[in-house]
Amino acid sequence: MRDPRYDVLFEPVRIGPVIAKNRFYQVPHCCGMGHAYPKSIAAIRAMKAEGGWAVVCTEETEIHHTSDISPALEGRLWDDSDIPAFIKKTDAIHQHGALAGVELCHNGLHAPNMYSREVPLAPSDTMVDWGAPINARAMDKTDIANMRRWYVNAAKRAQQAGFDIVYVYAGHDMTLLQHFISKRHNQRTDEYGGSLTNRLRLFREVLAETKEAIGDTCAIAVRLCVDELLGKDGLTAQGEGYDIVAGMAEEPDLWDVNISGWENDSQTSRFSQEGYQEQYISFVKSLTSRPVVGVGRYTSPDTMVRLVKSGVMDLIGAARPSIADPFLPNKISEGREEDIRECIGCNICVASDNTSTPIRCTQNPTMGEEWRKDWHPEIIPPIKTREQFLIIGGGPSGLEAARALAARGCDVTLAEACEHWGGRVTSEAALPGLAAWGRVRDWRVGQLEKMSNVEMFLASKMVADDAFSFEAENIVVATGSKWQRGGFNASTILTPDDIMAGNLPGLAEKIIVYDVESFYMGGLIAEKCALEGANVTYVTPVAMVSAWTVNTLEQHRIQKRLLELGVNIICHQEVKPDLTLSCVFTGVTQKLECDTFIPVIMRQPLDSLWQELNQHADAGSKTIARIGDCLAPTTIAGAVYAGHKFAREFGKIIDPDISPFKREH
């Protein structure tokens, strides 16, 4: 039964000519699939609608072939041939009583047109800011007239496709309409440049013409950046961001407001807390009678209620929380708040879009698998015959496998050698800024503790004889991995595992952190040692600190933090076994003094127990399997997925010669 305190979240909200059944609003977000995977996208959006979201929006959707951002995979409504794919989406969303929204977009100087090979368009002559070293040309009056028509045509196609809410999008510094508004991008001297009134002209024309074309049946939403965190060089909530909303207060049917660019709007939990955008967007509701939606990685229903009752927003926007738990609204409605899989803010979902690959989620292993594997985040088919499992290892993979197997009706015993659950999750969550990652452990432990067919034991290290003596029908080894020390000749070598275990270098020591992996760990270890007061040098063979975190939108913040902490950063250098640095281009060497050497290179599976068990596979158990990092070290998202995949597929006959999932052709 729903807590009456949360009733306000389930009140309907009128948005122009349509009504949202509650205040839960899945804002537009990308999935790394776009126009290439229409069935998969439709299934993802349908799952959100089934989970109780009143509004479910698409990813940004290109309106014209001059807005081609290949190789990124976004939506496309270039012409009428694109409409049928979107009908699949809207029908799937409407089936569950939700409204369907589409974020129409021309990317302007952010569109390199690498597929269409058209010349990019922008307010003024400039470089394209992404994808190719080419220029965008300044639009003339004919181009502007064409652009207005292209927006209206796309809006009409969206209406034909069954959308209820159509966006006029000016955010994230990735849209032509925001480029016209921006003083940085717009150097025009005609009526479309100069003053804010002039720079807003195209935006207001597109908004008015879109509303005139389809506003009798579709709500027209504005997605606007109100602050770019650039001070006087950009839009601010105290300056032009405020003025835009004040001057256009009643023009759209809905205000969807945020901060730009994407790296600010979707900050990781390492660098921001829940609700971090509130200070920038809270003024909007005071200026308009139209409903306002905003985001902030909200997962707490108490916070959501406060936002509504205090007049910050009318609709609770979410992208990442709706990915981590598509059924978040229903769980609040049913009084099951403790069952919400809370987003950890790791941005592995964002990385999927940035690598043009299907979306993934650390908390929700079914994300992206709704169509191709028929996986449902809340429903898992029962196993045909009840079986007993011994799972050895209580890290992310073992916890998820135990939870999913128990949900299938199996009897599960989970044994963990340490005195705490979580494995690497617990260790990494203690690093600077990663506390929210502990939610991966906490949610699974909480679910397991409620299951009568699960027994859980800490401080229970097992050897092969222990496992076999348990006489389980199935043994699953999920013992994780460890960081390698490598073949380096140093007086003191510590690994990230040592640092996370509290074995820190002395304050006066000179430390080299050698980061070959290039994800988050090397930067975090350097940060932790620097915070302890050590003299830290970060060395990497690539061009920047934690290079792969470009995909999670946090690389610039990681490098900035290390510089602010006084960490010496040396790029394009390999470390030889004798700790000599060698330039990756020229081979020129140099010697660097070092008291403690910390290699962050790769992790090694801890699979000795599995090896021993596998040698005696005839000892009575039907199945002896290894999963997660014990099989092959991966991301935490990959480890959770591995545990879930094992549980889902147990009992199925898998043909290694046939793809285990459906493909879109």
- Catalytic residues, which ones? 30, 169, 172, 265
For residue 575, the SS3 value is strand
Burial of 585 (0-12, 13-18, 19+ CB in 10 A): exposed
In this structure, the number of other CB atoms found within 10 A of the CB of residue 278 comes to 18
Torsion, CA 215, CA 65, CA 258, CA 32, rounded to 10? 120
| 251 dihedral zone (left: phi>0; alpha: psi -120 to 50; beta) | alpha
Q: Shortest CA distance to 573 belongs to which of 530, 544, 603, 594?
A: 544
391 three-class SS: strand
Residues whose CB falls within 8 Å of the CB of residue 174, separated by 6 or more in sequence, listed in order: 60, 105, 107, 110, 261, 262
What residue spans of 293-394 are helical by DSSP H? 301-309, 320-324, 328-333, 348-354
Task: Report helix, strand and coil shares of the chain as percent, to nearest 5.
Answer: 35, 20, 45
Q: Where are the alpha helices (DSSP H) in 182-290?
A: 196-199, 201-214, 240-247, 262-265, 278-281
Distances (CA, A) of 407 to 11, 352, 395, 533, 553: 33, 28, 18, 47, 35
CB 341 within 8 A of CB 335: no
- Return the beta strands (E) in 443-571 as ranges: 454-457, 474-477, 481-483, 510-515, 535-539, 568-570
Q: Which two tokens stand for residue 3?
A: 């807590």
**Rounded Cα gap, residues 212 and 202, in angstroms:** 15
**Site of tokens 């959308």:** 163
Q: How far is CA 429 from CA 160, 440, 515, 521, in A?
A: 48, 10, 20, 12
DSSP string, 550-568: GTTT-HHHHHHHHHHTT-E
- Structure tokens given for 356: 């043009």
User: Under DSSP, is residue 257 helix (H, G, I), strand (E, B) or coil?
Assistant: strand
Tell me which residue has tokens 């309409």. Answer: 177
Residue 458, token pair as written in the block = 């800490």
Sheet architecture: strand order including 573-575 = 573-575, 580-583, 589-591
Q: Is 25 within 8 Å of 55 (Cβ atoms)?
A: yes
Residue 421 burial (10 A CB sphere; 0-12, 13-18, 19+)? buried
For residue 241, CA distances in Å to 290, 309, 612 come to 17, 24, 64
Burial of 177 (0-12, 13-18, 19+ CB in 10 A): buried
Backbone angles phi, psi at 255, to 5 degrees: -105, 120
Neighbour-count burial of 55, counting CB atoms closer than 10 A to its CB (0-12 exposed, 13-18 middle, 19+ buried): buried
Task: Please list the residues that pair with 591 across neighbouring strands.
Answer: 580
Give the DSSP H or E segment for 613: helix 608-615
- Terminal C-alpha separation, the chain: 44
